[in-house]
Structure 1
Amino acid sequence: MTTVNQLIDLIKLGKTGDTTFVGNSVTIGSPHVFGGQVLAQAINAASRTDVKDRILHSMHAYFLEAGDLTKPIEYNVSIVRDGGSFSVRRVTAAQEGTTIFILSASFHKEEEGYNHQIEMPKGIKQPEELLSWTDMLNQFGDAIPSRTKSFIEVERPIEFKPVEVVNPFNKEDLPSFTHVWFKLNGDASSLDHATKQQILTYISDYNILAAAMNRHASKAHYGNTQTASLDHSMWYFRDFDFNDWMLYSIESPNTSNARGFARGNIFTRDGKLVASVTQEGLMRPIKKK
């Protein structure tokens, strides 16, 4: 999967009934279904149950079981409420009768109101000044740890350019934040608002727990720590254009009890706040036997 059109084909589900859908999976380099894929597919299912032209403004989800890449995922949508301004949907995802994921999504009609936002972080290097994951692989492939190398070798429909590059051989704790520029591969000029939100949801599950790992980089890495997304919430504020680079600004306020918490804001290059994200993930040290 290398282009935005292939990503859209993955996210857009087959319809099996009025409120039931089915989808397949594509690996991003991990042995289980990528959480961002399930999030995006569930939003796709919810948005196709006549939400009365309302726009997705928030979603909250829990990952219950690791998804099997080889099996289809069945999505069942419950129509919870259609009010005067808001529509709420609940989505359950299952494989062979086992529920692996649940999500609630709320859609809101367009209304006039007050408007403000936080500023985009200042002093951030522009994407033209940075190396992408592909650039790093080409330039430093032999020096990259095998686990990380196998992950970034997977072809993706998104290009990522981290602002802060972590050297895995420097065993020192780092600030609990990270900034990553991202851009879609392919022409995204004709995407409708709902499709853009689904793609942004897919992308939002990338990189977010890295901020929590950074704070413990002197001893924790993906080779000795079991990680998994536990829950994920997202709020969608403004429409945007996917044809330019966007910035994912992430910080981690807390890690405790084998869990890491992170929150992020997604900005357009010119500083418009598009969405905010929170996630708590498993960060369990692997004990040597």
Structure 2
Amino acid sequence: MAGGVSMWPSIATADVVDALDLERVGPKGPEGSADPTGVVVFRARNIVTRIPRTLGAQVLAQTVVAAERVVPHMAVQTLQGVFPRAGDPTEPVDVRVERLHEGRSVAMLQVGFRQGAAEHFRAFVTLGVPGAELVRHADALPVEVPGPEECAELPVPMLPWEVRTFGGVDALAPELAGPPRLDLWTRCAKVADGPTTARAILAWTTEGFLGPVALRPYPRDEIERRGGRAMSVALAQNITFHQEFSAHEWLLLRCASEYAGDGRMHGRIRVFTRDGRLVASVTADGLMRPGVRP
């Protein structure tokens, strides 16, 4: 993955909407029902781009939709996903959802994305309903963070909705260097809003920034000196949804690359609303290694 906005594949909003429309293929029955083993299977469509593998952002979003289709009276609270191998974006995929536990207030599922005998994504998902509150606190959004009106557009072809950051395209310009942190405002008013869609869109949005933020301290000349272009691969991503939010409102992604070395990278994203509510937290791990010189 090279620096700059051209690192992302180009996707249309209609592609995202189509990818989130999962077809239930087994077992037959009302929404939420499963076979005797507690398994539900969906058929998912992949988005084909110039990248020769299934998009991690897509499968994270599809996992949210599949989980809430299986347990429709609960909302996804945590998603812990791993990417053991690359999927083939030219072929459909079966999404197998297995109930591990379902109680009155919490459910736990295992979700696997499989093409033939090969599984390219697996996640453990917890869902729940609001419970009796004993305590409440959350990290606060610093007052000095520029709002979306103070930021410029950052075209991200993989996110066919609004994305803004302070400095605009220069924030990820490959010839410039910056700290391994980035604040991004985003909102998606192009899709029908709803709690499940909002969580799916946010899961999609958070996947693509670990590599670019890890590269910010190193301008293009330094990357070439270190071995050519950078090559990054996602290995795992964990998402926790804290509170409800809307896909149509401005959300701030505070991205930080907290470690990079030994061919690996680790990052964190905290997601806030404009009024300062912490609505989601994300951690991600991947590989970051020298690629082939252009």
How would you bin the TM-score normalised by the shorter chain?
0.7 to 0.9
- Please name the residue that 2:53 is paired with: 32
- Please name the residue that 1:125 is paired with: 146
Contact 1:55 1:110 in 2 (8 A): no
**TM-score, reference length from structure 1:** 0.83
Residue 207 (structure 1) shift: 1.8
**Cα-to-partner distance string for 1:18-64 (whole Å, 9 max, x where unaligned):** 30011112246533221010111122222222x26122110100011
- Please name the residue that 2:175 is paired with: 169
Tell me the amino acid that sits aligned with residue 279 of structure 1: A
Contact 2:228 2:292 in 1 (8 A): no
Residue 225 (structure 1) shift: 1.2
Corresponding residue to 1:43 among 64, 71, 74: 64
- Please name the residue that 2:286 is paired with: 281
Structure 1's unaligned 5+ residue stretches are 135-151
- Please name the residue that 2:202 is paired with: 200
**Partners of 2:50 and 2:150 in 1: CA distance:** 27
The alignment yields a C-alpha RMSD, in angstroms, of 2.4
- Please name the residue that 1:112 is paired with: 132
Which range moves more in the overlay, 11-20 or 114-123? 114-123
Structure 2's unaligned 5+ residue stretches are 1-10, 28-39
Contact 1:163 1:181 in 2 (8 A): no
Q: Are residues 59 and 156 of structure 1, via their aligned partners in 2, closer, same or farther at CA, if it must alter by over 3 Å?
A: closer
Residue 219 (structure 1) shift: 2.4
Residue 206 (structure 1) shift: 2.6
Residue 223 (structure 1) shift: 6.7
Residue 288 (structure 1) shift: 5.6
Contact 1:209 1:261 in 2 (8 A): no
- Please name the residue that 2:37 is paired with: none
Tell me the amino acid that sits aligned with residue 276 of structure 2: G
Contact 1:6 1:157 in 2 (8 A): no
Corresponding residue to 2:267 among 244, 262, 267: 262
**Partners of 2:146 and 2:64 in 1: CA distance:** 32
**Partners of 1:200 and 1:55 in 2: CA distance:** 14
Q: Are residues 161 and 29 of structure 1, via their aligned partners in 2, closer, same or farther at CA, if it must alter by over 3 Å?
A: farther
1:232 partnered with 2:237: yes
SS of the residue corresponding to residue 12 of structure 1 reads: coil
Tell me the amino acid that sits aligned with residue 206 of structure 1: G
Tell me the amino acid that sits aligned with residue 128 of structure 1: E
Give the count of matched residue pairs: 265
Residue 166 (structure 1) shift: 3.1
Contact 2:109 2:124 in 1 (8 A): yes
**Partners of 1:205 and 1:7 in 2: CA distance:** 14
**Partners of 1:34 and 1:24 in 2: CA distance:** 11
**TM-score, reference length from structure 2:** 0.82
Q: Are residues 28 and 219 of structure 1, via their aligned partners in 2, closer, same or farther at CA, if it must alter by over 3 Å?
A: farther
**Cα-to-partner distance string for 1:65-107 (whole Å, 9 max, x where unaligned):** 1122211111111110113421000011012321111001001
Contact 1:238 1:273 in 2 (8 A): yes
Which runs of structure 2 are paired with 1:148-227 in the superposition (5 Å)?
A: 152=156, 154=157, 156-164=159-167, 165-170=171-176, 172=177, 174-186=178-190, 188=192, 191-217=193-219, 219-220=222-223, 224-227=229-232
Residue 157 (structure 1) shift: 2.9
Give runs of ≥4 in structure 1 deviating > 4 Å. none
Corresponding residue to 1:21 among 29, 42, 56: 42
SS of the residue corresponding to residue 219 of structure 1 reads: helix
**Partners of 1:253 and 1:101 in 2: CA distance:** 24
Residue 108 (structure 1) shift: 1.3
Residue 203 (structure 1) shift: 1.1
Contact 2:60 2:203 in 1 (8 A): yes
Residue 6 (structure 1) shift: 5.2
**Cα-to-partner distance string for 1:201-250 (whole Å, 9 max, x where unaligned):** 11111323322222344623897111111100010011112222211001
**Partners of 1:234 and 1:227 in 2: CA distance:** 20
